[in-house]
Amino acid sequence: MLHDTSTLAVAIFAGFVAAVLALSFWLGRKKQSAAAYYAAHGEVHWFVNGIAFAGDYLSAASFLGICGMIAFSGYDGFLYSIGFLAGWIVALFVIAEPIKALGRFTFADALDAKFNSRGIKMAVAISTLVVSVFYLIPQMVGAGSLITPLLGLPHAAGVILVGVAVTLIVVTAGMVSTTWVQFIKGSLLVLFCGVLTALILGRGLQVNAGRPGTENLAPQVRTVRPDGTVLVDGKPQSRDHDLRPVGTIARLPDRFAGKTATGPLRPLEYLAALEDSTIITWSARRHADAEGTHVTYSPVERKGADLLKPGGYFKGLNSGTLAGRLDFASLMLALFCGTASLPHILIRYYTVKDGAAARKSTVVGIAAIGVFYVLTLYLGLGAMTSGALDPTDTNMAAPLLAKSFSTTLFAVISAIAFTTVLGTVSGLIMAGSGAVAHDLVENVCGVRMTDHEKVRCGKIAAMGLGIVAMALGILFKNFNVSFLVGWAFNIAASANLPALVMLLFWPRTTKQGIIAAVTVGMVASLGWILLSADTFEKVYGLAREAAPMPFSQPGLVTIPLGFLVLIVVSLLTPPPAARPGNAG
């Protein structure tokens, strides 16, 4: 579908970026120490850090991706939410305080605290970079693909805009400005999702929402011809001849018989009424011939109760095959274990003053993120029945839902969706800059630097990463990259979690064990992903059946493998020298 772009959205976004950059320059006006650049002096208030966790963690994938998945496939998007949130339990109960107590600036600091080994620093710095880059690509490509429908600019403009803004944010005041950007973004995101949810409940459910008269339920065909032009139902696409927006209710529950709208509903009433309604979703079927590639969108009448149970997106759950179920179990394990192994999340623990503040900020983060995920369930279901969905683009579900209320709200949500990218990308660039400058240059290569030089080195690394991020965002333009976030979770969980957990709970852990576990976890999970059916189909364009791996998500195998490698290698190498105070 062609989307009207609003100048108001551009103005709101420009205003936000200008305000954030002004704040960054103001925060960065004084000469900085390395402790300020990497960890904001450890003086961030726990509440601010808690909301900044939400701003760091809730990426465009969380906001637009989950809303879209729920709007198109029903319940399964909520399973992602449940897994994403559960990971914070690992962070709070197992990881937070040791990370805070052991480390100073980076994840490698914490893992290496006991051994002071260059090998550990190098392995962990590389795994930090790999995870951060896998997480960066979908963010940058997302920025590019969102900017066209939201703000009316070309793909590269979105990528460069985000890249330059984020690099400036990080380079001016490092972790201090990154924290405030994430705090502002996290607050706005939760607040406006709350506003949208209130509007959804106020509107209730409507038959044939957004369209007067009887809805035209004929299938729609979108054709892309070899020369790149687009046809809709055989005629060239234009403002006057475009795909019709989709997603409506065909019948309300019996107790609303004879009515076309329920009126305002309470939160649980809304869900119950939706379960008893009949909803029209749209399926897509693709075929190609000499004329071009055709996608036919056809209406499918479905019971609300069927849309609100698992299996709409994770087809493997219904297939009855073991591989399909293992794939799902593996993803849920990776989400659970991955959060607490993501470097850009872990470094936020260095910005608060002590263990108590680390705990309190995690609780605030869990509250904000938990509320957000409950709200996105309503946003997704609201979009599903709003009559405003673009059948070709799941990412547009949340902004188009906002548009079904008012164009002003569309502008605000579009601008917020776009700024969402800023908060997460700045966290990732910060984590990568620490891995390059603090871990690799300073600690592995042993370059001696004054405090001032350390800051400069970090800033140069951040600029370099910003440029790499922009290049990747443009290079991967036509890739379907949404699943890269899942990869990042799998690699983080496989490479980092076993080492971290065993270091904390098994005194016999040796430095060789840690190096081996991080390396094997990273290589095995990455290798598995590159040989999986999903990658064969979506990246290489090969047949799914040709892939050698039995299922696509590696975590179920590679996380235990990391633990196993660590135990075996540790037992084969001499135990670490016993130190007084290490006995308990």
Partner 1 sequence: MTDENAATKSRLGLALFWIYVLLYGGFMGLVLVRPDLLSWRPFGGVNLAIAAGMGLIAAALVLAVVYMVARAGR
The binder of partner 1 chosen from 39, 79, 444, 502 (CB under 8 A): 79
Q: Which of the ranges 30-38, 74-82, 156-164, 168-176 carries the binding residues for partner 1, by CB under 8 A?
A: 74-82
Are the C-beta atoms of residues 147 and 153 closer than 8 Å to each other?
yes
Instruction: Candidates 76-84, 134-142, 401-409, 430-438: pick the segment binding partner 1 (CB under 8 A).
Output: 76-84
Regarding 135 and contact with partner 1 (CB under 8 A), the answer is: no
Residue recorded with tokens 């006006």: 29
Task: Tell me how far, at minimum, the Cβ of 94 lies from partner 1, in Å.
Answer: 6
**Residue 226 · residue 299 · CB < 8 Å:** no
Can you read off the two tokens belonging to residue 279?
A: 């909803």
Out of 13, 16, 63, 78, which residue is the one contacting partner 1 (CB under 8 A)? Answer: 78
Distance CA 441, CA 446 (A): 7
Q: Which of residues 175-214 bind partner 1 (CB under 8 A)?
A: none
> Which residue stretch of 2-10, 90-98, 150-158, 524-532 sits at the interface with partner 1 (rule: CB under 8 A)?
90-98
Pick 377 or 397: Cβ nearer partner 1:
377
How far apart, in whole angstroms, are the C-alpha atoms of residue 138 and residue 61?
8
Neighbour-count burial of 217, counting CB atoms closer than 10 A to its CB (0-12 exposed, 13-18 middle, 19+ buried): middle
Stretch that binds partner 1, among 177-185, 304-312, 447-455, 550-558 (CB under 8 A): 304-312
**At its nearest, how many Å lie between partner 1 and the CB of residue 497?**
13
Is residue 578 close enough to count as binding partner 1 by CB under 8 A? no
**CA within 13 Å, CB half, 117:** 15
Q: Which of residues 348-407 bind partner 1 (CB under 8 A)?
A: 356, 359-360, 362-363, 366-367, 370, 373-374, 377
Closer CB to partner 1, 113 or 153, in the complex: 113
d(C-alpha 50, C-alpha 358), whole Å: 9
Which residues share a beta bridge with 293?
224, 288
Element (H, E) at 84: helix 76-90
State the nearest-atom distance from the C-beta of 386 to partner 1, in Å. Answer: 19
**Of the candidate residues 233, 242, 275, 393, the single one contacting partner 1 (CB under 8 A):** 275
- The contact pattern for partner 1, residues 93-132, with x = CB under 8 A and - = no contact, is xx--x-----------------------------------
Asked if 272 touches partner 1 (CB under 8 A), the answer is yes
Say how far apart CA 492 and CA 16 lie, in whole Å: 32
Q: Is residue 63 near partner 1 by the rule CB under 8 A? A: no
Residue 82 lies near partner 1 (rule: CB under 8 A)? yes
Query: Looking at beta carbons only, is 317 or 384 nearer to partner 1?
Result: 317
- Cα 75 from Cα 314, distance rounded (Å): 10
Does position 336 bind partner 1 by CB under 8 A? Answer: yes
Coil, helix or strand for 404? coil
Q: How far apart are CA 253 and CA 303, in angstroms?
A: 11
Contact of 326 with 317, CB cutoff 8 Å:
no
Within 478-507, which residues bind partner 1 (CB under 8 A)? none
Question: Phi and psi at residue 552, in whole multiples of 5°?
Answer: -90, -30
Among 300, 305, 564, 571, binds partner 1 (CB under 8 A): 305
CA distances from 115 to 99, 397, 512, 520, 576 (A): 15, 50, 10, 19, 8
Q: Is 584 in the site for partner 1 (CB under 8 A)?
A: yes
Nearer to partner 1, 233 or 276 (CB): 276
Separation of alpha carbons 534 and 468, rounded Å: 26
Q: What share of the chain is helix, strand, coil (3-state, %, to 5)?
A: 70, 5, 25
Minimum CB distance to partner 1 smaller for 60 or for 331: 331
Q: Are 421 and 161 within 8 A, CB to CB?
A: no
* Region binding partner 1 by CB under 8 A among candidate stretches 91-99, 172-180, 418-426, 533-541: 91-99
The maximal CA–CA distance of the chain, rounded, in angstroms, is 81
- Which member of 225, 235, 285, 309 binds partner 1 (CB under 8 A)? 309
CB 338 within 8 A of CB 496: no
- Interface with partner 1 (CB under 8 A): 75, 78-79, 81-82, 85-86, 88-90, 92-94, 97, 268-269, 271-273, 275-276, 305, 308-311, 317, 325, 328-329, 332, 336, 356, 359-360, 362-363, 366-367, 370, 373-374, 377, 581-584
